[in-house]
């Protein structure tokens, strides 16, 4: 085996320039794949975290059917005691109760239909970024005060600011007319247009009084320690719930986010596939040229008794060595490049719309991992071996006499 390995290594460098060009193509593609896959999945993680931490949370406890048809009467009974019990049983503070109602918000000049959320001021900041995104005034303080915070776009539409009053009109849980005058204490800017234009928050106790909720609400929002731990937390929550309540994960709550990621992933991996195929054709060309140039030599060794199958394995071994060099150097270069950007960050010019839609930070810090480092180069290595199958197969059909006539 050592002799065959040395022979394969020697044959690989018969035409060093051609070999280095092929290896260079593999190293370049592997470096690009490692970096782009790491960058891409880091972007996905940021998109998910920023979207969920703005308002949705990793999961929500709701009444069955509420997710698809948000009707006032589909409530979570005794929502605050439930949230408190979950905080105690899960030993977590990142759990908050909410209520929701559609209402008409009226200022002196204008009226606008909005979604009004009743929140627990002391816990909302632990499941949502909105309390920390107040650009004017302050967040809700007292749990029963007739106060409200609204998005910046909504404030501009209504031509109001901190200290102004809004009249809220809506329908209560029992179908009766709900009305209240609330004071604007804060204006937030979440960076998400739909939230800033349509959402307002008021203390849950005041919300329950205005809309005659009788202690009920519509959501218990839960933020897991990390996105990876969310399924485990969801199982724990589901095990403690009564049969008349359900817990939905972020995929069910934000289907558009998952669809956006899947669409981007499909287009990206299509481009990666084209890159891998180009490298495979480069290897195929190199090995075909190598076999054609050594046809006479192969004819001689076959006449001396070597079987075509062994010659085919020799060509496959040469390709394997070339692929391993490309794999190791490309993966190492890609990991180093990714690590550099994980320290210094990378901005994304030309992606301003995505940045705005998903409230992304100005720079991305891709993370190095074994899976992301090995996946792309492993695929290139596999296609490199597949590209060598045809040259090796041609050798099995080679006749010694005809091969020796080749000059």
Q: What pLDDT, on a 0 to 100 scale, did the predictor assign at position 362?
A: 65
Helix, strand, or coil here: 370? helix
| Residue 248 lies inside a defined structural domain of this protein | no
What does the buried/exposed string (b/e) look like for 61-71 if buried means 16 or more CB atoms within 10 Å of the residue's CB? bbbeebeeeee
Domain limit, last residue, from 223, 240, 273: 223
Residue where a domain stops, chosen among 203, 223, 243 = 223
- The pLDDT, as a whole number, for residue 140 is 94
How far apart are alpha carbons 354 and 173 in whole angstroms?
38
Q: What is the mean pLDDT of the chain?
A: 88
Q: Is 342's pLDDT higher than 70?
A: yes
**Average of per-residue pLDDT across 263-286:** 91
Q: Residue 274: pLDDT above 90?
A: yes
Containing structural domain, residue 206: 59-223
Are 290 and 274 found together in one domain?
Answer: yes
Is there a single domain that holds both residue 67 and residue 86?
yes
CA atoms within 13 A on the CB side of 360: 23
Res. 266 pLDDT band, cuts 50 70 90: very high
CA distance 259 to 248: 17
pLDDT > 80? residue 231: yes
pLDDT at 277 over 80: yes
Domain co-membership, 186 together with 335: no
- HSE (side-chain half, CA atoms, 13 Å) at 31: 14
Please say whether the beta carbons of 211 and 176 come within 8 A: no
Q: What total number of domains does the chain contain?
A: 2
pLDDT at 364: 79
Which residue has tokens 């192969």?
Answer: 298
**What letter would DSSP give residue 189?**
-
User: Is it the case that residue 228 has pLDDT exceeding 90?
Assistant: no
Average pLDDT over residues 4-16: 82
What pLDDT shows up at residue 357?
Answer: 55
Does residue 276 form part of some domain? yes
Please indicate, yes or no, whether residues 208 and 270 belong to a single structural domain of this protein.
no
Q: In this structure, are 134 and 12 located in the same domain?
A: no
**240/222 Cα distance (integer angstroms):** 14
Please report which confidence band the pLDDT of residue 360 belongs to, taking 50, 70 and 90 as the band edges: low
Please report the pLDDT score of residue 287 as a whole number.
Answer: 83
> Whole-angstrom Cα distance, residue 41 to residue 338?
12
Q: Is 23 contained in some domain?
A: yes
Q: Is residue 41 domain-shared with residue 81, that is, in the same domain?
A: no
Q: Which of 350, 380, 387, 391 is nearest to 274 (CA)?
A: 380
Do 94 and 138 lie in a common domain?
Answer: yes
Q: Which two tokens stand for residue 153?
A: 């776009």
Q: Please choose, from the candidates 250, 252, 246, the residue with its C-alpha nearest in 3D space to the C-alpha of residue 61.
A: 246
Mean pLDDT, rounded, for 266-270: 92
Per residue in 363-384, pLDDT (tens digit) is: 778 888 999 999 999 999 999 9
Q: Would you state the pLDDT for residue 400?
A: 67
Query: Which residues are CB-neighbours of 405 under 8 A, at least 6 positions away?
Result: 299
Which tens digit of pLDDT belongs to each residue from 186-208? Answer: 999 987 888 999 999 999 999 99
Residues 261 and 198 in one domain: no
Angle at 21 between CA 16 and CA 26, to 5 degrees: 125
Given a cut of 70, is residue 348 above it in pLDDT? no
In a domain, residue 230? The reply is: no
Q: What is the pLDDT of residue 407?
A: 52
In a domain, 93, yes or no: yes
Lowest mean per-residue pLDDT among 120-124, 282-286, 332-336: 282-286
State pTM to two decimals. 0.77
Whether residue 238 is contained in a domain is answered as no
Domain end position, chosen among 223, 243, 273: 223
CA nearest to 181, candidates 105, 255, 241, 119: 105
Cβ neighbours of 46 (radius 10 Å): 17
- Indicate if 199 and 265 belong to the same structural domain: no
Q: Are 181 and 166 in contact (CB under 8 A)?
A: yes
Q: What is the pLDDT of residues 97-122, one digit of tens each?
A: 999 999 999 999 899 999 999 999 99
**Residue 5 near residue 344 (C-beta atoms within 8 A):** no
Do the domain assignments include residue 312?
A: yes
Report percent pLDDT > 70 for the chain. 91
30 plus 71 within the same structural domain: no
Cβ atoms of 219 and 60 within 8 Å: the answer is yes
Domain shared by 118 and 201, yes or no: yes
Q: What is the pLDDT of residues 160-169, one digit of tens each?
A: 999 999 999 9
Regarding whether 39 and 105 lie in a shared domain, the answer is no
In a domain, 34, yes or no: yes
């Amino acid at each position: 085996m050592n002799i065959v390995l040395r022979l394969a290594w020697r044959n690989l460098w018969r035409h060093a320039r051609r070999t280095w060009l092929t290896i260079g193509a593999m190293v370049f593609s592997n470096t690009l794949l490692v970096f782009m896959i790491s960058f891409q999945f880091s972007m996905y993680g940021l998109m998910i975290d920023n979207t969920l931490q703005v308002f949705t949370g990793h999961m929500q406890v709701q009444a069955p059917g509420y997710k698809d048809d948000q009707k006032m009467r589909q409530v979570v009974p005794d929502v605050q005691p439930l949230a408190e019990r979950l905080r105690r049983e899960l030993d977590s503070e990142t759990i908050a109760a909410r209520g929701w109602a559609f209402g008409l918000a009226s200022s002196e000049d204008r009226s606008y239909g909005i979604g009004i959320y009743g929140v627990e001021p002391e816990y909302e900041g632990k499941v949502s970024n909105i309390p920390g995104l107040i650009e004017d005034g302050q967040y809700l303080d007292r749990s029963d005060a007739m106060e409200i915070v609204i998005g910046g776009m909504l404030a501009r539409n209504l031509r109001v600011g901190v200290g102004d009053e809004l009249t809220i009109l809506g329908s209560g849980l029992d179908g009766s007319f709900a009305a209240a005058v609330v004071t604007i204490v804060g204006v937030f800017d979440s960076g998400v247009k739909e939230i800033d234009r349509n959402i307002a928050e008021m203390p849950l106790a005041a919300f329950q009084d205005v809309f005659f909720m009788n202690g009920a609400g519509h959501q218990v929002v839960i933020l897991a320690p990390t996105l990876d731990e969310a399924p485990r937390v969801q199982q724990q929550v589901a095990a403690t719930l009564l049969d008349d309540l359900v817990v939905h994960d972020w995929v069910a709550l934000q289907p558009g986010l998952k669809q956006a990621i899947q669409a981007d992933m499909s287009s990206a991996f299509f481009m990666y596939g084209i890159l891998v195929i180009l490298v495979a054709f480069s290897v195929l060309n190199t090995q075909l040229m190598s076999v054609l140039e050594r046809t006479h030599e192969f004819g001689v060794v076959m006449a001396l008794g070597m079987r075509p199958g062994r010659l085919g394995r020799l060509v496959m071994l040469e390709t394997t060595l070339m692929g391993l060099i490309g794999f190791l150097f490309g993966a190492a270069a890609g990991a180093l490049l990714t690590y550099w950007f994980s320290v210094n960050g990378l901005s994304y010019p030309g992606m301003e719309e995505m940045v705005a839609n998903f409230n992304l930070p100005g720079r991305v810090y891709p993370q190095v991992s074994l899976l992301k480092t090995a996946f792309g180069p492993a695929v290139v290595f596999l296609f490199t071996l597949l590209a060598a199958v045809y040259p090796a197969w041609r050798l099995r059909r080679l006749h010694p006499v005809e091969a020796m006539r080749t000059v």
